[in-house]
């Protein structure tokens, strides 16, 4: 009977919520894209046109970090930083204007859109964390592969192959010598 360890429970729970985490990352990326679009809207038309026509002459990055360094509900602005490639990504290459980043004041409409997206992202992220923690506790509480099969069959495909817990000592030989 194979046992569920805490490490196995954590690993299986992470695998079970992987698709939801991917959706969460896509939601985050859509927020960054909206912010980047706000940023691009502030660039002079000539610079945007030149970037679209001659991208190879501009610095680009595949990762943009969003820093709500200001409370959006009070200060109505945000900061973007272009940090280079922080993770493997085949996503959009963002135009990287030299400097430490940029700060943009938002219109009320932009502020409302952004706050709604951020609230949805925060809520989804919180739900995913709670789901993963609940799965970890449930798997660890079930203790054995057999009980997981009976009570949470959705997790079976994510369980690692059970290892033998049989003793490697030849007990028959020892008994014969008694």
Model confidence pLDDT, tens digit, residues 107-151: 778 778 888 888 898 899 999 999 999 999 999 999 999 999 999
Please report which residue ranges of 17-169 form alpha helices under DSSP H.
18-42, 45-53, 72-75, 108-142, 145-151
Per the domain annotation, does 169 fall within a domain? no
- Closest to 31 in 3D by CA, of 77, 75, 66, 74: 66
Per the domain annotation, does 175 fall within a domain? no
Provide the whole-model pTM.
0.70
Question: Which residues does residue 67 pair with via DSSP β-bridges, in sequence order?
Answer: 79
101 in Cβ contact with 81 (< 8 Å): yes
Residue 13's domain spans which residues?
Answer: 6-158
H/E segment holding residue 7:
helix 6-16
Dist CA 58 CA 52 (whole Å) = 10
**Is 89's pLDDT higher than 70?**
no
Per the domain annotation, does 172 fall within a domain? no
Domains of the chain: total: 1
Each residue of 18-59: pLDDT tens digit? 999 999 989 988 887 887 787 777 778 888 888 788 877 776
Q: Chain-centre distance of CA 58, in angstroms?
A: 29
Per the domain annotation, does 164 fall within a domain? no
Per the domain annotation, does 167 fall within a domain? no
Per the domain annotation, does 165 fall within a domain? no
Dist CA 112 CA 103 (whole Å) = 17
Of 65-74, 154-163, 166-175, minimum mean pLDDT range: 65-74
Per the domain annotation, does 168 fall within a domain? no
Per the domain annotation, does 166 fall within a domain? no
Identify the DSSP state of 43: S
């Amino acid at each position: 009977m194979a046992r569920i360890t805490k490490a196995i429970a954590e690993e299986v729970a992470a695998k079970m919520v992987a698709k939801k985490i991917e959706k969460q990352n896509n939601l985050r990326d859509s927020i960054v894209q909206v912010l980047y679009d706000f940023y691009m809207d502030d660039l002079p038309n000539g610079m945007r046109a030149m970037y679209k026509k001659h991208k190879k002459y501009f610095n680009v990055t595949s990762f943009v970090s969003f820093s709500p360094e200001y409370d959006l509900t009070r200060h109505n602005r945000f900061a973007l930083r272009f940090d280079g490639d922080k993770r493997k990504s085949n996503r959009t290459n963002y135009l990287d204007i030299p400097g430490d980043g940029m700060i943009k004041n938002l219109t009320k409409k932009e502020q409302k859109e952004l706050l709604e997206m951020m609230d949805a992202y925060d809520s989804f992220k919180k739900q995913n964390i709670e789901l993963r923690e609940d799965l970890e506790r449930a798997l660890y509480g079930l203790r054995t592969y057999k009980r997981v099969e009976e009570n949470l069959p959705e997790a079976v495909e994510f369980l690692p192959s059970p290892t033998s817990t049989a003793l490697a000592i030849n007990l028959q030989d020892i008994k014969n010598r008694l």
